[in-house]
Amino acid sequence: MSEPTVTTGRLLLRPFRPSDLEPFAALNADPLVVEWLASALTRAESDTLAERCNEELRREGWGRWAVEAVGVAPFVGLVGLHRVGPRLPCTHSVEVGWRLSPEHWGRGYASEAAGAALHFGFTGCGLDEIVSFTAATNVRSQTVMTRIGMVRDTGADFDHPTLPEGSPLRRHVLYRAHRSQAARTVG
């Protein structure tokens, strides 16, 4: 299967290129980004993640893309769809997620790209539901989830099993979007 791309008015969601690896590693080590992750990634871990993203795009026909702000910046971050791992309560779901370089925050790129990924998942891939989750304290990401039409499922909030007791990131909130909402909320 080929690696799909998605375009919006300002962005290109595409497979990772070799030229993305250095800025992606910088993003994955940036303290402002890592604040919401379990830990920073080494350069090797970041490169491996980029390759796994491209493999997922080829295998699934959807996945996590490198994001390019056309005419502005060749790489601003990662956005896309990913199967939730088996250790989480929402296992077997597909999640939409994002990770952008802080210098590109506040421009609406996360909402634009994540909304396009949702739309692609529903209309291009036939997914029925897409979830998103983050630490309960990550208000910025929750704002993006709301902007793209996702609805919080308070009954599905959970403690992240890979984070230790007492971690301020352990409690996670879960948002959902359904294909039936896609025409009204995404695109």
Q: What is the CATH number of the domain that holds 42?
A: 3.40.630.30
Burial state string for 104-136 with b = 16 or more CB within 10 A and e = fewer than 16: beeeebbbbbbbbbbbbbbeeeebeebbbbbbe
Give the pLDDT score at 182.
62
For residue 173, the Cα-to-chain-centroid distance in whole angstroms is 15
Query: If you ran DSSP here, which 8-state letter would residue 124 be given?
Result: I
pTM: 0.92
6-31 pLDDT per residue, tens = 999 999 999 999 999 999 999 999 99
Quick one: 155 exposed, middle or buried, by C-beta within 10 A (0-12, 13-18, 19+)?
exposed
CA distance 8 to 139: 25
> For residue 97, what are the β-bridge partners?
80
CA distance 122 to 118: 6
Domain that holds residue 175: 6-185
- How much of the chain is helix, strand and coil, in % rounded to 5? 40, 25, 35
| Count of domains for the chain | 1
In a domain, 1, yes or no: no
137-146 pLDDT per residue, tens = 999 999 999 9
79-115 pLDDT per residue, tens = 999 999 888 888 889 999 999 999 999 999 999 999 9
Mean pLDDT score of the chain = 93
The least confident of 40-44, 64-68, 159-163 is 159-163
In a domain, 12, yes or no: yes
